Amino acid sequence: MTMHINLSPELEGFIKRLVKSGEYGNAAEVIRDAVRRLKAQEMHKIAWRHAIEQGDSGADSDIPYESDTVQQIAEDANRARAGSEPIDPDVLP
């Protein structure tokens, strides 16, 4: 599919600098990479919200809900985000 987008001169210059540096072969590669990263970020936000909802629903049950649990969830999320690990399907909606 072909899309035409308008960019500010600042963003256009940024993309041209990335291509000129050799990090990307052309502007389309820059845009595809940016959209992939944005999609991954959105999936992480969805997973994080779902984990919070699960924690909130568990707070009223007999499941212990302690600060260590929250810390572990945060560390797991940060590790997954940094390493681009696939999101655990158990935390997806």
Contacts of the segment 38-46: beta carbons below 8 A, 24+ positions apart: 40/81, 40/84, 43/87, 44/77, 44/80, 44/81, 44/87, 46/92, 46/93
Number of independent structural domains in the chain: 1
- What is the pLDDT, as a whole number, of residue 61? 58
Establish if 4 belongs to a structural domain. Answer: no
Q: What is the pLDDT of residue 49?
A: 84
Residue 74 lies in a domain: yes
In a domain, 76, yes or no: yes
Can you give the residue range of the structural domain that contains 39?
Answer: 9-91
Report yes or no on 1 lying in a domain. no
pTM of the complete model beyond 0.95? no
Query: What pLDDT score was predicted for residue 56?
Result: 65
Domain annotation covers residue 17: yes
- 2 belongs to a structural domain: no
